[in-house]
DNA sequence: CAAAAAATCATGCGAAAGGGTGACGACAGC
DNA sequence: GCTGTCGTCACCCTTTCGCATGATTTTTTG
């Protein structure tokens, strides 16, 4: 959280510096102030969106898991229902929510890079989660991990 | 290494701020551009955070919907039995029996080498079959091919 | 708050996977 | 005969995966 504030300050400083720089180097056209304002607005809006996503990401995942779990506890309903991940087995295996999340994306056929993009993390992080999940599942390949995950009721 | 970058950014920002301050502290009106920019920045950062929250919230709902829809996909797969591969779809896609056989082994989590050993062919042959099957399924990865294969009723 | 757990990121390396191309033999159908 | 499909195999090259290791940050928990 502290790092966000730091980044915020740095970005602000650099932005103002950039503004000064452009102000001295370029020909100042008529509505330059508005242009700069728009620039700042766009950049900070994007930053705010990113920050908002980052802050709320974890809580969201938890909430979603809870919701899904509440929906379907009755067991032998294989075909219908919004799929209840076997949390008991998940916990005995020590698989975290994040790992399961990435496992689900793997099962959808996404590459590590695509997963990283979708979750706003680096590819290396995805690889780490993969490795841990594979280890806990006793899988050596992602296809095998998916197969095991479905066998164990962790994936739909 | 990351700390260096941070320190660099902070120092740069502070330096610029100091320069601005010493240069312009007499004339407050001159600060109008910066003040305006900072105001807009703060406002839009807040707006972005709010927007990020909102996006996330809606995405949560969307995700839930998607989950429900996903369950409906494996429709025409009657409960038990030795699984009837959808030969019609297989033929329309031009997938040969051999390719489907290898696809099934991929879905079991085997590597190309293991498949080659099990089928008494070379690994290169397995790769060729893989490539052709992936092409016909429009998949770029084996996990994606498995996903598509199950969607299309080609795999159990 | 301090400890533990989880998430994040990086780096390097070897193995696996994937794309492209070319080739050869078997076999069916015209 | 000739043609087309299928299965087989090889080579090269690039990308992706998986593994090990270490570090930092964030979150949870006692």
Cβ atoms of A51 and A5 closer than 8 Å: no
What pLDDT, on the 0 to 100 scale, is given for residue B87? 85
Q: Which of A30-34, A84-88, B58-62 has the lowest mean pLDDT?
A: B58-62
User: What sign results for the dihedral spanned by CA atoms A24, B5, A102, A106?
Assistant: positive
A118 touches strand D (CB under 7 A): no
Q: Does B37 touch chain A (CB under 8 A)?
A: yes
Residues A64-95: tens digit of each pLDDT: 333 333 333 334 444 555 666 678 888 899 99
Please indicate whether residue A8 or residue A100 has the higher confidence score (pLDDT).
A100
> What is the pLDDT averaged over residues B24-43?
56
Instruction: Using DSSP, state whether B7 is helix, strand or coil.
Output: helix
What pLDDT, on the 0 to 100 scale, is given for residue B9? 46
Confidence of residue B46 (pLDDT cuts 50, 70, 90): low
**Residue numbers of B between 5 and 24 with CB closer than 8 Å to A:** 6, 9-10, 12-14, 16-17, 20
Distance (Å, rounded) from C-alpha B112 to C-alpha B105? Answer: 9
**Residue numbers of A between 63 and 122 with CB closer than 8 Å to B:** 63-64, 67-68, 78-83, 106-111
Report the Cα A62 to chain-centroid distance in Å.
13
User: What sign results for the dihedral spanned by CA atoms A121, A143, A148, A107?
Assistant: positive
Residues B93-142: tens digit of each pLDDT: 999 999 999 999 999 999 999 999 999 999 999 999 999 999 999 999 99
Confidence of residue A143 (pLDDT cuts 50, 70, 90): very high
Give this prediction's pTM. Answer: 0.67
What pLDDT, on the 0 to 100 scale, is given for residue B78? 46
C-alpha distances out from residue B77 to A65, A78, A82, B69, B155, Å: 27, 12, 17, 16, 10
Comparing CA positions, the residue from A127, A131, A133 lying closest to residue A148 is A133
**For residue A44, what are the contacts with CB-CB under 8 A and spacing of at least 6?**
B40, B41, B42, B44, B45, B48
Nucleotide closest in space to B110 (CA vs C1')? C16
**For residue A41, what are the contacts with CB-CB under 8 A and spacing of at least 6?**
B40, B41, B43, B44
What pLDDT, on the 0 to 100 scale, is given for residue A11? 63
Is the pLDDT reported for residue A105 higher than 60? yes
Cβ atoms of B110 and A139 closer than 8 Å: no
Residues 7-36 of A with CB under 7 A from strand C: none
> What is the pLDDT averaged over residues B45-74?
45
- DSSP assigned state of A26: S
What pLDDT, on the 0 to 100 scale, is given for residue B89? 86
Is the pLDDT reported for residue A55 higher than 80? no
Residues of chain B neighbouring A150 (CB-CB closer than 8 A): none
């Amino acid at each position: 959280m502290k790092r966000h504030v730091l980044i915020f300050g740095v970005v602000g400083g650099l932005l103002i510096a950039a503004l000064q720089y452009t102000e001295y180097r370029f020909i100042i056209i008529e509505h330059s102030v508005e242009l700069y304002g728009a620039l700042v607005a766009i950049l900070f809006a994007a930053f705010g969106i990113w920050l908002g996503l980052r802050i709320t990401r974890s809580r969201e995942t938890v909430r979603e898991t809870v919701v899904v779990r509440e929906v379907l506890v009755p067991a032998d309903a294989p075909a219908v229902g919004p799929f209840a991940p076997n949390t008991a087995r998940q916990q005995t295996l020590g698989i975290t929510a994040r790992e399961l999340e990435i496992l689900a994306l793997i099962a959808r056929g996404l590459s590590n890079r695509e997963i990283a993009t979708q979750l706003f993390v680096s590819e290396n992080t995805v690889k780490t989660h993969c490795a841990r999940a594979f280890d806990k599942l006793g899988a050596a390949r992602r296809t095998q991990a998916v197969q095991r995950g479905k066998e164990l009721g962790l994936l739909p």
